[in-house]
């Protein structure tokens, strides 16, 4: 991997992938939901939508056509800590991808007439989430876990905040955050680093001033204590449940042991939860674990959906599995099998140019060292039974978790 920190504050990373004929190109803005005030919840996501409504040189339709007509793709998303704009193109179209994303980030029009239209689109997006219980239950759990902290905010915002956000709010966020000093650019595939830098120079990225890089203030995280919450919904046929709590931060040395336990508990058909809840008891079609890591903290848990009359039995079975791991850790044979599985997942995840682009960006976004595949596998091999036991005890004890449910009947 190669890295260059340009004079205007832009951080540029690249990794050439031998044999690839395409390039994944992305830009990460260090501003998102975590940096919002409650009354402006959703403004980062709204800005991400608005930049696609037109730039100084392209209409919304021209933006949509720009890369798709070349066989490529263009996408964007808002997370808790970053807003990302990404493209995948043939290597010969790298300059076009850089130019389009540069226009979106630096030169959007942000017109009031577009906001009136896009506000309706996002309200529809909120309705779509509200109509999808296995989506909304995660927002419910975030609020229960983090309370009024921005980690608990809805990325889409609320109906009230989206209706009140206006062009000055969007332009203020753009002026504050969308400049090179808060940007990380990463590319992977058939690309050489000097070629990437020259492309950025030719497409105007190096001409934009650095901007204010004062860190956005973020309040310390406080996690709510164990409790249960239920939202009654009679119009659905299942009870949707999330049981979880605080997880591992990005820079935590225990992350690989955590990932191994999480994978063995709920990462696939061979996992303990799948085998117990679905295969042995037949109580759920979908049951799996999940986790998210941030700079200052993390979250994790188990999701399942079950008929109202069997939901309590299902979550009791989940607690039984979690409690067993929290008390006893993993057996030597499970640890060995988990290492093989995690090694395989790591290697296969790195065989795509988009995955390598994400990994390159992460080194800058979280200040992490770049590690080769062999170095990552060595970290997995170094996981031992004591470390697994400690992580399992500290994070997977269900008595420390928050339970949220959505459906006709509550569970406890």
pLDDT digits (tens, 9 = 90+) for 269-290: 999 999 999 999 999 999 999 9
Q: What is the pLDDT of residue 344?
A: 95
Q: For 116-122, what is the mean pLDDT? A: 96
CATH H-level, domain 2-207: superfamily: Metalloenzyme, LuxS/M16 peptidase-like (3.30.830.10)
* Architecture, CATH, for domain 228-407: 2-Layer Sandwich (3.30)
Band (27; pLDDT cuts 50, 70, 90): very high
pLDDT digits (tens, 9 = 90+) for 304-323: 999 999 999 999 999 999 99
Band (170; pLDDT cuts 50, 70, 90): very high
Q: Evaluate whether 66 touches 96 at the Cβ level (below 8 Å).
A: yes
Distance between CA atoms of 279 and 201, rounded to whole angstroms? 56
Band (198; pLDDT cuts 50, 70, 90): very high
Q: What is the pLDDT of residue 121?
A: 97
pLDDT, the chain, mean: 96
CA 114 to chain CA mean position, Å = 27
Q: For 227-256, what is the mean pLDDT? A: 96
Q: For residue 306, how many C-alpha atoms fall within 13 Å in the half-sphere facing its CB?
A: 27
CA 70 to chain CA mean position, Å = 28
Q: For 347-368, what is the mean pLDDT? A: 94
Q: What is the pLDDT of residue 156?
A: 98
Indicate the burial class of 41 (C-beta count within 10 angstroms; 0-12, 13-18, 19 or more).
Answer: buried
Q: What is the pLDDT of residue 113?
A: 95
pLDDT digits (tens, 9 = 90+) for 91-104: 999 999 999 999 99
Considering only 63-67, 220-224, 401-405, which range has the smallest mean pLDDT? 220-224
Segments of the chain assigned to CATH 3.30.830.10: 2-207, 228-407
In the residue annotation, 279 being an active-site residue is answered as no
* Token couple for 405: 């449910």
Distance between CA atoms of 33 and 150, rounded to whole angstroms? 7
Q: For 258-273, what is the mean pLDDT? A: 96
Looking at 48, 96, 103, 118, which residue is catalytic? 48
Query: Across the strands, what pairs with 27?
Result: 85, 185
Share of the chain above pLDDT 70, in %: 100
- Dihedral, CA of residue 315, residue 321, residue 322 and residue 324, to nearest 10: 140
Full 3-state SS string of the chain: CEEEECCCCCEEEEEECCCCCEEEEEEEECCCHHHCCHHHCCHHHHHHHHHHHEECCCEHHHHHHHHHCCCCEEEEEECCCCEEEEEEEEHHHHHHHHHHHHHHHHCECCCHHHHHHHHHHHHHHHHHHHCCHHHHHHHHHHHHHHCCCHHHCCCCCCHHHHHHCCHHHHHHHHHHHCCHHHEEEEEEECCCHHHHHHHHHHCCHHHCCCCCCCCCCCCCCCCCCCCEEEEECCCCCCEEEEEEEECCCCCCCCHHHHHHHHHHHHCCCCCHHHHHHHHHCCCCCCEEEEEEECCCCEEEEEEEEECCCCHHHHHHHHHHHHHHHHHHCCCHHHHHHHHHHHHHHHHHHCCCHHHHHHHHHHHHHCCCCCCCHHHHHHHHHCCCHHHHHHHHHHHCCHHHCEEEEEECCCCC
Share of the chain above pLDDT 90, in %: 97
């Amino acid at each position: 991997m190669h890295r260059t920190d340009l004079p205007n504050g832009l951080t540029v990373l690249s990794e050439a992938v031998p044999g690839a004929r395409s390039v994944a190109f992305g830009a990460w803005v260090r501003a998102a939901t975590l940096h919002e005030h409650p009354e402006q919840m959703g403004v980062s996501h709204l800005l991400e939508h608005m930049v696609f409504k037109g730039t100084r040189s392209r209409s919304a339709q021209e933006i949509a056509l720009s890369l798709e007509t070349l066989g490529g793709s263009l996408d964007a998303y808002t997370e808790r800590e970053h807003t990302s704009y990404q493209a995948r193109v043939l290597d010969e179209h790298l300059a076009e991808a850089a130019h389009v994303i540069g226009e979106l980030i630096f030169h959007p029009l942000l017109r009031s007439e577009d906001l009136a239209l896009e506000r309706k689109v996002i309200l529809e997006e909120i309705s779509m989430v509200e109509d999808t219980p296995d989506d909304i239950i995660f927002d419910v759990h975030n609020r229960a876990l983090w309370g009024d902290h921005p980690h608990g905010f809805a990325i889409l915002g609320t109906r009230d905040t989206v209706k009140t956000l206006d062009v000055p709010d969007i332009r203020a966020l753009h002026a504050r955050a969308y400049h090179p000093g808060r940007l990380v650019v990463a590319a992977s595939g058939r690309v050489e680093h000097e070629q990437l830098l020259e492309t950025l120079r030719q497409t105007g990225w190096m001409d934009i001033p650095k901007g204010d890089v004062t860190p956005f203030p973020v309040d310390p995280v406080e996690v709510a204590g164990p409790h249960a919450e239920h939202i009654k919904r009679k119009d659905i046929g299942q009870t949707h449940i999330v049981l979880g709590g605080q997880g591992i931060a990005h820079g935590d040395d225990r992350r690989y042991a955590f990932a191994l336990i999480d994978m063995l508990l709920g990462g696939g058909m061979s996992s303990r939860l799948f085998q117990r809840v679905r295969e042995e008891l037949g109580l759920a079609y979908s049951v799996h674990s999940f986790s998210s890591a941030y700079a200052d903290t993390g979250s994790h848990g188990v999701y399942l959906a079950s008929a109202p009359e069997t939901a309590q039995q299902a979550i009791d079975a989940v607690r039984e599995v979690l409690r067993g791991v929290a008390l006893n850790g993993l057996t030597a044979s499970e640890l060995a099998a988990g290492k093989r599985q995690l090694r395989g997942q790591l290697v296969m995840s790195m065989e795509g140019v988009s995955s390598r682009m994400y990994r390159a960006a992460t080194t800058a976004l979280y200040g992490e060292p770049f590690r080769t595949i062999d170095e990552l596998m060595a970290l997995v091999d170094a996981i031992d039974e004591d470390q697994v036991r400690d992580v399992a005890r500290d994070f997977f004890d269900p008595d420390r978790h928050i339970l949220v449910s959505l459906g006709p009947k509550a569970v406890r």
